[in-house]
Amino acid sequence: MAKSTAEELHEYLDPKVLSKITRLDLQARLVVEGFISGLHRSPFHGFSVEFASHREYAPGDDIKHIDWKVLGRTDRYYIKQYEEETNLKATFLLDASESMLYGSHRRGRMTKYQYAAAVAASLGFLLLQQQDAVGLAVFDEDLVGYLPASANPNQIKPLVHAMDGIEPKAKTSLEHICHSVAEKIPRRGLVCLVSDLFVDIDGVIRGLQHFRHYDHEVIVLHVMDEDELTFPFQGNTMFRGLEETGNVTIEPRVLRQGYIEAVERFCREVKRKCIASRIDYKLISTADHLDAALLAFLAARAAATRKTGAKR
């Protein structure tokens, strides 16, 4: 049986399929189209293409602003939002340090950097469609690319150009980068960090708190390769360290359980510290379909919108 257009588009959410497409702008468009087509068949109607002009009804809202047409389609109550309530300035912080080079090529998956860039480009494309402003900071030890937020629909071209063709090769200095970028965008908006977080976490939190000081909403998309999460290696293996950490040959089966426990502790600790600083956190594997990242971002934005509405 032939696949429908929606089913074909939805396949592009699979990193294995997406990795065969070399153009980042095309990846972003196909991911977003596949994501939207998937949402129309899912329970997440509230995150559809209407998310920029509606928010979920909350007790105390004036019922005259309920969108009855959306109620008829989704059986859920949504409030119409107006221009001044919906315009958003989003800035993506994309990690281009050497550790992001890791990827399970033998399984046809993307490197962490390729996956992270696809996520940032897709979200940027989605937001620009909603007439929101999108900016980008690509970093390793230093800021290697910066693009101020703009709502121009053509912003996707310089956005993709700034990410494309980068070969991660240096260490990470994330706290320093956060402080630098925070001073460039003091006006309230949304900041999304896409990184493997192979850095001093306390320093990262201090850096992200700088954004919170300016009342930005902050979300961390913690990207890790599936191998880093499951440690599937067999037999004596030489592990080549990235970011000047050296090489080591070990029998991985001896270390697997301890390694996995250490990784899980690390991720729990990162999440705990993010939550304590009012920062949204989502752990994502490069084996996950990209809708996991897009839904995490939109959920954080929806929550921020509800909080903003509650303050009015």
Read off the CATH number of the domain in which 261 is found: 3.40.50.410
Q: How confident is the model at residue 8 (pLDDT cuts 50, 70, 90)?
A: confident
Place 306 in a pLDDT band, splitting at 50, 70 and 90: low
Q: Is residue 2 one of the residues assigned to a domain? A: no
pTM beyond 0.85: no
Q: Is the dihedral of CA 66, 72, 76, 82 positive or negative?
A: negative
CA distances in angstroms from 276 to 135, 182, 206, 269, 272, listed in the order given: 26, 20, 12, 11, 6
Q: Could you tell me the pLDDT band of residue 176, with boundaries at 50, 70 and 90?
A: very high
Over the chain, what is the mean pLDDT? Answer: 82
Q: List pLDDT tens digits, range 21-64.
A: 989 999 999 999 998 877 655 433 343 344 445 666 677 677 77
Write out the residue range of the structural domain in which residue 145 sits: 88-311
How far is residue 186 CA from its own chain's centroid? 21
Q: Is residue 223 part of a domain?
A: yes
Choice among 103-117, 174-188, 279-293 with the minimum mean pLDDT:
103-117
Strand ranges for the chain from DSSP E: 54-56, 78-80, 89-95, 133-139, 143-150, 190-195, 217-224, 237-240, 247-250, 280-285
Encode burial over 217-246: b for 16+ CB neighbours within 10 A, e otherwise. Answer: bbbbbbbbbbbbbebebeeeeeeeebbeee
Q: Round the CA-based radius of gyration of the chain to a whole number and report it.
A: 20
Strand 237-240 relative to strand 247-250: parallel, antiparallel, unpaired?
antiparallel
pLDDT at 250: 63
Residue 12 lies in a domain: no
User: What average pLDDT does the segment 95-101 reach?
Assistant: 91
Residue 173 domain-assigned (yes or no): yes
Query: pLDDT for 181-234, tens place per residue?
Result: 999 997 889 999 999 999 999 999 999 999 999 999 999 999 999 888 987 777
How far, CA to CA in Å, does 130 sit from each of 124, 127, 156, 292? 10, 5, 13, 20
Angle subtended at Cα 159 by Cα 215 and Cα 173, rounded to the nearest 5 degrees: 60
On whether the CB atoms of residues 88 and 94 are closer than 8 A, the answer is no
Domain presence at residue 233: yes
User: Which residue type, as a one-letter code, is found at position 146?
Assistant: Y
pLDDT tier at 171, thresholds 50, 70, 90: confident
Classify residue 116: in a domain, yes or no.
Answer: yes
Q: Taking 60 as the threshold, does the pLDDT of residue 309 lie above it?
A: no
Alpha carbons 293 and 299: distance in angstroms, whole number: 10
More confident residue, 18 or 74: 18
268 has a pLDDT exceeding 60: yes
Mean pLDDT of 231-248: 61
Number of domains in the chain: 1
159 domain-assigned: yes
Per-residue pLDDT, 251: 59
**Is 257 domain-assigned?**
yes
Residue 159: the pLDDT is 95
pLDDT (mean) for 281-305: 87
